[in-house]
Amino acid sequence: MKKIIALLLSCIMLFQLTVSSTAAYNAPKLEKEEWDMYYESLVDKNTLPALNVGANQTQVSLCWHCDKDKAEAKVEVSTNSDMSDAKTFTGEITVSENDTQVVCRVTVTGLEEKTVYYYRWYTENGWSEAEKYETKSFSDHKAMVVGDIQIAEDWRTDDEVNQDEIGFNWNNVLSTALTNSPDIAYLVSPGDNTSTGSTQQEWQTLLMPKALRELPMALAIGNHDKKGMMYNYYTNMPNEYYGRFFSGLDRDFWFRYGDVLYLFYDSTSGNAPDHKAMTREAIKQNPDAKWRIGVVHHGIYGAGDCIGDAETEILLSTIFAPIFESFDLDLVITGHTHSQGRSHFMENRKVVGTAESGKTYTNPKGIVYLNSNSVCERPTNESYEAEHLAYSFLENDTTTYSTLEFKGDQLILETRRGDNGELLDSLTIERTEEHNENSFGNVMKRAGYTVIEALGFIYTMVDNLVRKFS
Residues within the interface to Fe ion (CB under 5 A): 192, 222-223, 336
Task: Please give the residue whose beta carbon sits closest to Fe ion in the complex.
Answer: 336
Q: Least Å distance between CB 369 and Fe ion?
A: 15
Nearby residues of 307 by Cβ (< 8 Å), 6 or more positions away: 313, 384, 385, 386, 389
Q: What string of DSSP letters covers 90-155?
A: E-EEEE-SSSSEEEEEEEE----TT-EEEEEEEETTEEPPPEEEE---SSSEEEEE-----B--GG
Q: What string of DSSP letters covers 401-444?
A: EEEEEEETTEEEEEEEETTT--EEEEEEEE--S---TTSHHHHH
Rounded-to-integer distance, Cα 392 and Cα 375, Å: 16
Choose between 59 and 205: whose C-beta lies nearer to Fe ion.
205
Q: Least Å distance between CB 74 and Fe ion?
A: 36
| 3-class state of residue 193 by DSSP | coil
Phi, psi of 263 (to 5 degrees): -115, 110
Q: Least Å distance between CB 306 and Fe ion?
A: 10
Please calculate the CA angle 405-268-107 and round it to the nearest 5 degrees.
55
**Amino acid residing at 286:** N
Rounded-to-integer distance, Cα 280 and Cα 264, Å: 13
Rounded-to-integer distance, Cα 342 and Cα 233, Å: 33
Choose between 317 and 326: whose C-beta lies nearer to Fe ion.
317
Choose between 91 and 222: whose C-beta lies nearer to Fe ion.
222
Choose between 371 and 392: whose C-beta lies nearer to Fe ion.
371
Q: Least Å distance between CB 446 and Fe ion?
A: 28
Choose between 77 and 187: whose C-beta lies nearer to Fe ion.
187
Beta pairing class for 101-108 and 60-67? antiparallel
Q: Least Å distance between CB 192 and Fe ion?
A: 4
Q: Least Å distance between CB 266 and Fe ion?
A: 12
Q: Least Å distance between CB 29 and Fe ion?
A: 27
Choose between 222 and 456: whose C-beta lies nearer to Fe ion.
222
Choose between 213 and 336: whose C-beta lies nearer to Fe ion.
336
Choose between 309 and 419: whose C-beta lies nearer to Fe ion.
309
Rounded-to-integer distance, Cα 423 and Cα 420, Å: 9
Phi, psi of 350 (to 5 degrees): -125, 155
Choose between 54 and 294: whose C-beta lies nearer to Fe ion.
294
Rounded-to-integer distance, Cα 87 and Cα 147, Å: 34
Q: Least Å distance between CB 189 and Fe ion?
A: 12
Q: Least Å distance between CB 163 and Fe ion?
A: 17
Phi, psi of 251 (to 5 degrees): -175, 155
Kindly list the distances between the CA atom of residue 116 and the CA atoms of 22, 58, 221, 467, in Å, as whole numbers in the listed order: 10, 13, 31, 46
What angle do helix axes 440-448 and 450-469 make, rounded to 10 degrees? 40
